[in-house]
Amino acid sequence: MTVPSVSQVCTNWGVAVGPVKLDPRAEQHGRLLKEWREDRGIKRTELIKMLADQGVTLSYDYVNKIEGGTRALSGVDIEIREAWRHILGVSQEEWEEKTGLKVMDLIPEPSPLTFEYEKLLPIPATLQKAIDEFGEEYPDLFDPAWQRTLAGLRFEDGMAVGPQTPEHWVDQYLLLKKFRRHVK
């Protein structure tokens, strides 16, 4: 018994056989991501681990498809793109300029005003305790942008209100992180 070839089956079913055409934009994005990663000396397996540390689980094959241009970056969830962008250290401006994809980041980027902003929003003692106690489990707590965001909760309406225990701070962090994932 002879097994028909793929082209015979496709011809019989009326399916065109030939090279797969890739989306030029997906190819451009893939080359760009790979270039940024390689310029920073990050191996693909290291990138995957760094993404996992940010709470983003991607397979080697998935990253390979994006970098190879066979999977469109524009179709990737915003949280994954944002984690990828942060790991590669690409500014919002450069990302938007080179990819044409908007950045939707609820956590402010560091700016020249950071020093003054930090003076206005000191880290409450209970938040610092939460960072010290739970930072290994939730690495975002070490991020100054997250710390400023959380500290801002303490001074709602100009009053010293907000979370009062380290556990409450972690609850607020998890709530904000969950909310951030659902905002598109």
Strand extents, DSSP E, 14-137: none
Q: Is pLDDT at 111 greater than 60 in this prediction?
A: no
Structure-token pair, residue 11: 């011809």
- Collect all residues with Cβ–Cβ distance below 8 Å to 50 and sequence separation of at least 6: 42, 87
pLDDT attached to residue 5: 52
pLDDT attached to residue 121: 60
Q: Is pLDDT at 109 greater than 50 in this prediction?
A: no
Nearest CA to 180 out of 136, 140, 142 is that of 140
pLDDT attached to residue 63: 92
Best-predicted range by mean pLDDT (1-5, 87-91, 110-114): 87-91
Structure-token pair, residue 137: 């489990």
Q: What is the mean pLDDT of residues 96-117?
A: 61
| Stronger pLDDT, 177 or 9, i.e. the higher one | 177
Helix/strand number for the chain, H first, E second: 10, 0
Location of structure tokens 């908007």: 102
CB-based contact 147:153 (threshold 8 Å): no
Q: What is the mean pLDDT of residues 51-71?
A: 88
Dihedral sign from CA coordinates of 157, 159, 160, 163:
negative
CB-based contact 110:144 (threshold 8 Å): yes
**pTM greater than 0.85 (yes/no):** no
Single-letter code of the amino acid located at 78: I
pLDDT attached to residue 154: 58
pLDDT attached to residue 161: 64
**If pLDDT is split at 50, 70 and 90, which confidence band does 13 have?**
low
